Structure 1
Amino acid sequence: MTPRDPKDGIQELLHELCVDLGFCLPPHEQQRLREAPPADADSFTDAVFIAEGMNPDRHTRLWHQVRERIDRHLRG
């Protein structure tokens, strides 16, 4: 059995965020997050918002929706 590449999981997460919540990041931002993903769900969520050009502090409800998806993926 071949171990799963963690970058594949990040790509799946980014795809889900795009399809389900509309966070379709530019390719260079996707690559940046795959290569050096933030360590925790809060930081990852903030990074997604910033990559999308949004202020995370101004979209509390949406931030929590994105964070929930990220947390679920990070926990496996």
Structure 2
Amino acid sequence: MTPRDPRTEVRRLLYELCVELGFCLPDHERRRLEDAPPPDADRFTDAVFAAEGMDPGAHTRLRQQVRDTVSRHMSGWAGPLDEAP
């Protein structure tokens, strides 16, 4: 079994958000999320919006699209991101 790599999982999620929804975060914001990812889909989604300088409340449909992508990725992860592999 391959050890779980939370940073890689977050990178894959952020890549999809960039390619599919246009949320291409600056390097320092991507690193921040890779180093300390929020533990659930809602907080991760809000962190992505904050990193883009956007108010998620002003973009409800787009927020739902981002949250759906985040949730799909997180549901495939082996466990909470704050656990060491």
Range class of TM-score, shorter chain: over 0.9
Which residue does 1:13 correspond to in 2? 13
Which residue does 2:62 correspond to in 1? 62
Q: Which has the higher helix share?
A: 1
The alignment partner of 1:38 has SS state of: coil
Counterparts of 2:52 and 2:4 in 1: how far apart (Å)? Answer: 27
Counterparts of 2:2 and 2:72 in 1: how far apart (Å)? Answer: 23
The alignment partner of 1:53 has SS state of: coil
Counterparts of 1:64 and 1:18 in 2: how far apart (Å)? Answer: 15
Residue identity over aligned pairs, in percent, reads 64
Q: Unaligned regions of 5+ residues in structure 1, if any?
A: none
Aligned length: 76
- Cα deviation, 1:12-45, whole Å, max 9, x if unaligned, reads 0000000000000000000000000001100000
How much has 1:2 moved relative to structure 2?
Answer: 3.3
Deviant stretches of 4+, over 2 Å: none
What's the TM-score, normalizing by structure 2? 0.87
Q: Unaligned regions of 5+ residues in structure 2, if any?
A: 77-85
Greater RCO between the two (CA within 8 Å, min separation 6)? 2
What's the TM-score, normalizing by structure 1? 0.97
How do residues 1-76 of structure 1 correspond to structure 2 at under 5 angstroms?
Answer: 1-76=1-76
Counterparts of 1:20 and 1:2 in 2: how far apart (Å)? Answer: 27
How much has 1:4 moved relative to structure 2?
Answer: 2.5
How much has 1:7 moved relative to structure 2?
Answer: 0.7
Counterparts of 1:28 and 1:4 in 2: how far apart (Å)? Answer: 23
